[in-house]
Homo-oligomer: A and B are copies of this chain.
Amino acid sequence: MEQTRETKAAGGAEAVGAAAIGPCAAIPAEHMAFIREVLDRVGDKWSLLLIAVLEPGPLRYTDLQRQIPGISQRMLTLTLRQLQQDGLITRTAYAEVPPRVEYALTPLGRGLHEIATSLVGWAAAHHDEIRENRARTTSAQPSAGTRA
């Protein structure tokens, strides 16, 4: 029974050194945990969007709120802080009479921003396609494996 599972995961053990070959095929299990961690942080509903929106220059708190209609102050602040802790964005507070705070991408965050942009672009490009597929298959699961 074990030989069947060797389909393509045979390199699981020695994949440790194979990380350079492909970033995805045979991912070293040791890194999986952290990758998941990053993926989770990045995929927490707002982070990527925030990174994507933060593109050009420093943005103020209110600006971010305007650019991301659905977000609440709570989530904006929370996500902002998280991103800052990870070193993806910088927070600059000017202790002026009308308090002003600006958020900007760090070089590290800029790298992620490109990916975020790709993702947003992909979503925008295929959103109708996905919607069609989703509508077509929504609540349309036969009992089991039909269509061979």
Contact = CB atoms under 8 A, between A and B. Distances in A.
Interface of A: 1, 4-5, 7-9, 12, 19, 22-25, 27, 29, 31-36, 38-40, 42-45, 48-49, 52-53, 55-57, 59-60, 62-63, 66-70, 81, 84-88, 91-95, 98, 100-101, 108, 111-113, 115-124, 126-127, 129-134, 137-138, 141, 144-145, 148
B25 A133 contact: no
Nearest to A41: B130
19 contacts: A7-B63, A22-B55, A23-B117, A25-B56, A27-B53, A27-B67, A31-B124, A31-B127, A32-B68, A34-B123, A35-B127, A36-B49, A40-B45, A42-B123, A85-B133, A85-B138, A87-B134, A88-B130, A91-B145
